[in-house]
Amino acid sequence: MAIGGLLGGGGGGAQGGGGISPQLQGAQQAQQQSSEANQVAQIQAQMQSEKTKTQAQIHQIQQETNTKVAEMFRETNLNRAKSSSKLHGKWVQQIMA
């Protein structure tokens, strides 16, 4: 098909109208749909990337929290043991005195 047929819908020259041919409209719509589909895919990829990043950050925070809790637990038990040992030492001194 000639370019005039796509653009003006006719044999060209004085017969051509000002409208866009259905073929050109279809091609433009297909291009627009393709462009929109690409944009949607790009946004979905960005969203997935952000989701993955957020999940990694949450995991890191949970690991840090678990580590801190374990350290606090260890420290508490150590302090209890030291306190108990000191108390036992004083009790032994009282008994021996």
Residues 16, 9: contact at Cβ < 8 Å? yes
d(CA 97, CA 85): 18
Residue for token pair 């990337």 = 49
Supply 93's token pair: 């001194």
**CA nearest to 32, candidates 40, 49, 95:** 40
pLDDT for residue 8 is more than 90: no
Give whole-number Cα distances, 85 to 11, 15, 73, 89, 96, in Å: 106, 108, 18, 6, 16
pLDDT of residue 18: 57
Lowest mean pLDDT among 9-13, 31-35, 49-53, 77-81: 9-13
pLDDT of residue 10: 46
DSSP state of 17: -
More confident residue, 77 or 94: 77
